[in-house]
A and B are shown apart, each in its own frame.
Chain A
Amino acid sequence: MYDRKMAIVDLSKGKVKEYTIPKKWQRGFLGGRGINSYLLYNLIEKGIDPFSPKNVLVLGVGPLGGTLAPSSSRFNASGLSPETGILGDSNCGGFFGPELRFAGFDHLVLRGKSKKPSYVNVQDGEIEIRDAKDYWGLDTYEVQISLRKDLGDVESVVTGVAGENKVRMACLRTGVKNAAGRCGMGALMGSKNVKAVVASGVNGVKVEHPQRMLELMEEIKDYLMGSKITPILGSQGTPLLYEVSNALGAIRTKNSQLNVWSDSLNAEELEQHVEKMISCSSCFTHCRHRNKFDGEGPEYTAVGLLGANLGLDHYPDIIKLNNTCNELGLDVSSAGSVLGWAFELYERGIIDKKMTGQEIGFGDFELANDLLHKISRREGFGDILAESSQAAKKFGPKSKDYLIAVKNLPQSDPHDIRYIKAFGLGIATASRGADHLRSRPTIEIFFRLPQEVKEQIYGKGATTDPTVYDGKAQAVHFSDNIFATIDSLGLCKFICHGFNSPHYLKYEHFSKLLYAVTGSEFKEKELENIGKRIIDTERLFNFKHGVTAKDDTLPKRYFDDPMKQGVSKGHRIERKGFDKMKKEYYKLRKWDEKGRVKPQRKKHIESHGGLP
């Protein structure tokens, strides 16, 4: 275990206080998402408004971040979410996370509110709050280009126009497209009058056993490159999932009124619009598209939610909408979900022209693009849409029946989960709301994978049939745990066992990497327990902020409306089956029947201590 630093930047007082991260925290939560969540649990009072200066925005990198460890580019941005009012936490790639470590800090807490537009500059161990008047009002590209022009080779995480206007689904951006996308972390930064956090440093990350690390990484590289999925991800990126999903009849289409969409959005159709595939820091996979429309992306989420979900089937249109979201600083997942929701409400007459100011509906690229701009500036109808799921307050109670969200977070995964029951349980119980990146048990949809391989991953009783309810709690439990661990190490979950492939990195790999980098021994079981501890900490945080077991549910449509098309026709989530999965999941988590973390466990978590 070695010294890692964090700092609390008090924006109201203009003061910075530095701390050595307690060893107990490192042992109990690793870093990244884990320490971020523990900080939130300790620092955020019950009952505050997410836009209150009392809220905090935490940026955190894991102990493997910025090293030769594979895909060690990730950091987490966390706070009380302006979009949901519960845990806000978002994991992001690119080059900022490593640079923050090179600049000398693993975790930064921004608290209070700056009196005037500011940015936080972190350079070679020094932190300074600086005037951002020249940067305020710029989009996410312009501000980063300007910061580099003024400060040299820096990496920045910024909020766009949407975040400045406290659009609840505004993301943080670093680079062209990397986003801490979910839960409105851009709005949170904007609410603090902060435009950017900028990092630069000439110091590297010390590695305890360099030769061991070099040898280990030769093995790990061969292991990762040997997986069948690696070259496919490296040439097609996540859009490869579109065809898989569409073939199942499980692609969210027109706000989940339909579940099959056009083949014109298959990944091979995207290739003509791509200049090159590029990487985040330290990544062998290189799943990101440099597109021919002056941007990067799209990911599968954009293809699904800005494509099928909006009734669009022309790739250039979708790439342009994706680029618009990137420039404005909008979360693609929430933006696509909220637009689709509004279009259906208009079709059904639940909202009308008096509110929208114009005809709105599916299949109209110009309209969608215009609305994204209006959302980011809170203009006209855009001001209502900018509230994300909380727009239901304006749309009326009936609108909630058509909202594809859990715990107020619009669903990120373009998969229509009515067919794939484990995915349903995953988004119902995920600690930040309807999100697949907390627990997506991907192997569920690999039909051809033999039972024994599934059992090796998820444990005895795992099934090959995605449509049954048995054996699903354990698949979600496994995924939830290992994703919490990998998010806390600073690695991308794309190379995590059970996410994209049965062959990716397991706890044993994490253990070896941690030993090589930090010199500390973490047994495999201990790393799994850290994942569990993080999930419980997030659960405690959420219950403190009003979540109860009844919030572990799904959109009404997923229970009540059978799917209409394709292989999955007739499927829906049956309430009885769902309740059974949920009960089993609580049991695996050792939560009580009301989904609460038990008092003894709470005591254990709190025993890691407060701020040093």
Chain B
Amino acid sequence: MKYLYYYPEKCTGCRQCAMACSLNKFGECNPKRSAISIVRDEFERYEFAIFCMQCEDAPCMDVCHSGSYYVEDNIIKHDDNKCILCRLCAAVCPHSAITTMGKDLVKCDLCDGDPKCVKYCSTEALVYEEETKEQASRRRELAKKILSTS
């Protein structure tokens, strides 16, 4: 199964991921109306991406009264037509990854296996990868780092 992975140390805070997401979903560039949010503060010196982690035991699905959430190809998806916009899912999401704005609720659906956010990331801070492959490469990088510094 492929997931979205994020490496904050590689993220430069440019928000192209969020620009692309909002453009794809809503036809506008709006980093606040996106399924991926870059939280950043140049004075506190950080940037961090927040997006749906596709939890196996997903609190959003558990609390939804209107049956708006469903799983397709292992991806948690949201049906706008069934949604009553109570925003409870957004409130309970442990990653604060569900965005609501006016009459829209935005949650990452991995763009049907072709996530736009990844396409416009210039530093590979965001990758869409098989979990075993991602783990292997992450561990290899870690091993190299530890061995070269020891």
Contacts and interface: CB of A to CB of B under 8 A. Distances in A.
Interface in A259-312: 275-286, 290, 296
A540 interface: no
Given A68-B16, A214-B116, A290 B28 contact: no
B68 interface: no
A218 interface: yes
A210 B119 contact: no
Chain A interface size range = 35 or more
A67 B19 contact: yes
Contacts of B29: 66-68, 204-205, 207
Given A205-B28, A277-B12, A286 B123 contact: yes
A141 B42 CA distance: 10
A278 B125 CA distance: 12
B104 to A, nearest CB: 11
A225 B43 contact: no
A406 B80 CA distance: 61
Nearest to B43: A145
A283 B31 CA distance: 14
B19 to A, nearest CB: 4
A206 interface: yes
A234 B125 CA distance: 14
B123 A296 contact: no
The 4 A-B residue pairs whose C-beta atoms are closest, nearest first, are A204-B30, A204-B28, A279-B14, A284-B122
Interface in A173-205: 175-176, 202-205
A144 interface: yes
Contact of A218 (B30, B31, B43, B119): B119
11 contacts: A202-B30, A204-B33, A206-B28, A207-B28, A213-B23, A217-B120, A221-B122, A234-B122, A234-B123, A278-B13, A279-B13
B27 A207 contact: yes
B32 interface: yes
Nearest to A178: B42
Interface string B2-26: 0000000100111110011011101
B47 interface: yes
A362 interface: no
A223 B45 CA distance: 30
Contacts of A277: 12
A595 B49 CA distance: 53
B43 A281 contact: no
B71 interface: no
Interface residues of B, number: 30
Contacts of B19: 67-68, 282
B105 to A, nearest CB: 15
B45 A275 contact: yes
Contact of B14 (A141, A217, A284): A284
Contacts of B9: 276
Contact of A205 (B12, B30, B45, B116): B30
Contacts of B13: 278-279
Contacts of B147: none
A275 B46 CA distance: 11
Contacts of B28: 203-207, 210
B90 to A, nearest CB: 15
Interface string B119-137: 1101100000000000000
A202 B106 CA distance: 14
Contacts of A275: 45
Contacts of A144: 43
Contact of A68 (B12, B23, B45, B122): B23
B1 interface: no
B120 A280 contact: no
A278 B16 contact: no
A217 B15 CA distance: 14
Nearest to A65: B29
A41 interface: no
Interface in A527-566: none
A446 B26 CA distance: 44
B101 interface: yes
A203 B30 contact: yes
B111 to A, nearest CB: 11
Contacts of B26: 204
Given A210-B23, A210-B27, A214-B23, A202 B14 contact: no
Interface in B27-72: 27-33, 41-43, 45, 47
A464 to B, nearest CB: 32
A102 interface: yes
Interface centre among B12, B27, B47, B101 (most CB of A within 10 A): B12
Contacts of B32: 102, 202, 204
A221 B30 contact: no
Nearest to A144: B43
A525 to B, nearest CB: 28
Given A175-B42, A214-B24, A217-B120, A282 B16 contact: yes
A280 B20 CA distance: 16
A207 B43 CA distance: 31
